[in-house]
Amino acid sequence: MIMSLTKEHFLKTIGKKIKTLREAKGLSQYALSDESGISRSQIVRLENGDLNCTLATLLVLAETLGVEPKDLLDV
Amino acid sequence: MIMSLTKEHFLKTIGKKIKTLREAKGLSQYALSDESGISRSQIVRLENGDLNCTLATLLVLAETLGVEPKDLLDV
């Protein structure tokens, strides 16, 4: 049964996943920003579920964190 | 080994997946547009890999097509 996810819940859950993966790699938000080229403020908003980013940003994040893009949506 | 996907390749592959799922459901682009609320021109650009859409748009598309968002990135 595909539970209808609200946009807010969907973004918050992805944000938690990004944070978990970042911390598992021992990266600070600054370090992830440096490695990915995504601004630190965007990373903060992403991890809080406050940024509805694009697929290209998701791809860069996934590659920086060493996972497949779909893994960031495995929520 | 995580192959580094170019943005273009990534978006084109997602577009093909959306088109395959839409056609499997017997939906025209117009019908998918009606059901999802996403404009037909955006659907055309998405399926051609020419639109770097947001996660929220991906969520709406996935729910309309009856799949999980991550399935659209299973490329």
pLDDT in tens, A6-44: 899 999 999 999 999 999 999 999 999 999 999 999 999
| CB of B66 less than 8 A from some CB of A | yes
Cβ contacts of B64 on chain A, cutoff 8 Å: none
**What sign does the CA torsion over A44, A45, A48, A53 have?**
negative
pLDDT mean over B52-67? 96
Question: Do A49 and A11 contact (CB within 8 A), yes or no?
Answer: yes
Burial (CB count <10 Å: 0-12, 13-18, 19+), residue A26: exposed
Domains and CATH numbers, chain A: 7-73 (1.10.260.40)
Map residue A54 onto helix, strand or coil.
strand
The distance of B26 to chain A (nearest Cα, Å) reads: 19
* CA dihedral over B48, B51, B56, B60, signed as positive or negative: negative
Q: Is the predicted ipTM greater than 0.95, yes or no?
A: no
What span, in angstroms and rounded, lies between the C-alpha atoms of A52 and B59? 11
Dihedral class, residue A27 (left if φ above 0, else alpha if ψ from -120 to 50, else beta)? beta
DSSP assignment, residue B44?
H
Residue B2 has what pLDDT?
Answer: 47
Q: What is the pLDDT of residue A32?
A: 98
- Cross-chain residue pair A58–B63, CB shorter than 8 Å: no
